[in-house]
Amino acid sequence: MIALIQRVSHASVVVNGETIGAIGTGILALIGVEKTDTEAEAKRLLQRILGYRIFADADDKMNLNLSDISGGLLLVPQFTLAASTTKGMRPSFSSAAAPADGERLFDHLLQLARLQHQPVAAGRFGADMKVSLTNDGPVTFWLQVPTAR
């Protein structure tokens, strides 16, 4: 499973002109699901997202995580993160999970997040979404949890 996380001062996601999720200071996490991913990878990825220390402490060092600052989490499904871009001029999505599997694992990740952290907002799987954010820093990290098989 893949997460592209961004430290934000605010972020929101709009579907059909309606804001369906928004946060203030926190993390916007774009989530990609690959064919071999399972609930175990979703759980581990969430641990990394919630525990990743990307917020400044009193000494202006990245030592604080999302819980430490009581920040928001916005999870947005983005299957294009699973694309292979190593050859040619067009991405290949052969490693991306099938839509039903991707939606199931994204929903599992979202449920776990809501049990472990607040506030949590989310985009909508398969929807045409408009994502807005103000990246604070900018600070952006690629987190990937390899399949445990």
Is residue 104 pLDDT above 90, yes or no?
yes
Active-site residue 106, yes or no? Answer: no
Active-site residue 25, yes or no? Answer: no
Q: How far apart are CA 84 and CA 134, in angstroms?
A: 27
133-139 average pLDDT score:
97
Residue pLDDT, tens place only, 7-52:
999 999 999 999 999 999 999 999 999 999 999 999 999 999 999 9
112-121 average pLDDT score:
98
Class of domain 2-144 as given by CATH: alpha beta
Select which of 19, 47, 80, 111 is catalytic.
Answer: 80
Residue spans of beta strands (DSSP E) within the chain:
2-15, 18-23, 26-32, 55-56, 62-64, 72-77, 120-122, 129-144
pLDDT at residue number 43? 97
Select which of 6, 55, 79, 125 is catalytic.
Answer: 79
Active-site residue 80, yes or no? Answer: yes
